[in-house]
């Protein structure tokens, strides 16, 4: 019987050797609490710091990684981070928290993080095979290109819309008219971003099938 496979997400500063300072670690610890709670159904081993420069988690539902990345990237203070995604088994018993875990999926995630840093990318993928890795990398590069063009206000509105039931509710919480929200979403290409994110979810699930 083959070993279970997991998707490892390994994150850290977007430059090689970069460390997360105390303020960044404290902020991310709060984000991890939200991730571990809201995405509990897809997490095999919870988000935790691996060392001073990296954090990691294991997912047993691969598509959930898109939601994790969205939650991380929608945090203004989480900018300046890069992410490596790896696929494969682990070499030791699964733990509730991902600290100290080892195995091929984490090796692939760390290699992907190194590639993302070297190529100045937000996200890179390893472990699905060269052609599939490149396809995923290209999709995430396009998403990053769109997100990097957002103004601070557009990013704020997008994050608020994601957290709200309706655009009208988001507008009320921001103290602006619904038309302002609609215009911001249109200029941010929000519908295209949602479509690309859903494509990434489906690709991860399909690739996990073999």
Q: pLDDT digit string (tens) for 134-191? A: 999 999 999 999 999 999 999 999 999 999 989 999 999 999 999 999 999 999 999 9
Residue 200 domain flag? no
Instruction: State how many domains the chain has.
Output: 2
Q: What is the CATH number of the domain that holds 93?
A: 3.30.70
pTM, rounded to two decimals = 0.94
Same-domain pairing of 176 and 123? no
Tokens linked to 42: 């897809």
Same-domain pairing of 82 and 171? no
Sole residue written with tokens 């599939």: 132
Residue 194 domain flag? no
> What is the pLDDT, as a whole number, of residue 8?
98
Residue 36 domain flag? yes
> What is the pLDDT, as a whole number, of residue 2?
74
- Mean pLDDT, the chain, as a whole number? 93
Q: Do 90 and 106 contact (CB within 8 A), yes or no?
A: yes
Residue 169 domain flag? yes
Residue 209 domain flag? no
Q: State the residue range of the domain holding 12.
A: 6-128
> What is the pLDDT, as a whole number, of residue 130?
97
> What is the pLDDT, as a whole number, of residue 162?
93
Residue 79 domain flag? yes
Same-domain pairing of 67 and 112? yes
Q: Do 87 and 129 contact (CB within 8 A), yes or no?
A: no
Same-domain pairing of 121 and 156? no
> What is the pLDDT, as a whole number, of residue 17?
67
């Amino acid at each position: 019987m083959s070993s279970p496979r997991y998707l490892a997400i390994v994150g850290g500063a977007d430059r090689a050797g970069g460390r997360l300072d105390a303020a960044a670690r404290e902020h991310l610890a709060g984000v991890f609490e939200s991730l571990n709670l809201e995405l509990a159904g897809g997490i095999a081993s919870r988000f935790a710091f691996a060392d001073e420069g990296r954090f990691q988690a294991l997912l047993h539902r691969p598509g959930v990684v898109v939601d994790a990345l969205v939650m991380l990237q929608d945090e203004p203070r989480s900018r300046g981070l890069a992410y490596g995604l790896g696929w494969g088994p682990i070499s030791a018993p699964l733990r509730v928290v991902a600290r100290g875990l080892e195995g091929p999926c984490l090796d692939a995630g760390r290699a992907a993080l190194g590639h993302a840093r070297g190529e100045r990318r937000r996200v890179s993928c390893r472990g699905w095979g060269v052609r599939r890795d490149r396809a995923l990398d290209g999709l995430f590069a396009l998403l990053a290109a769109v997100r990097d063009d957002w103004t601070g206000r557009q990013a704020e509105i997008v994050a608020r819309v994601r957290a709200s039931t309706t655009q009208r509710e988001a507008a009320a919480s921001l103290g602006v008219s619904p038309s302002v929200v609609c215009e911001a979403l249109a200029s941010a290409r929000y519908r295209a971003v949602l479509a690309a994110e859903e494509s990434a979810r489906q690709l991860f699930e399909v690739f996990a099938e073999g």
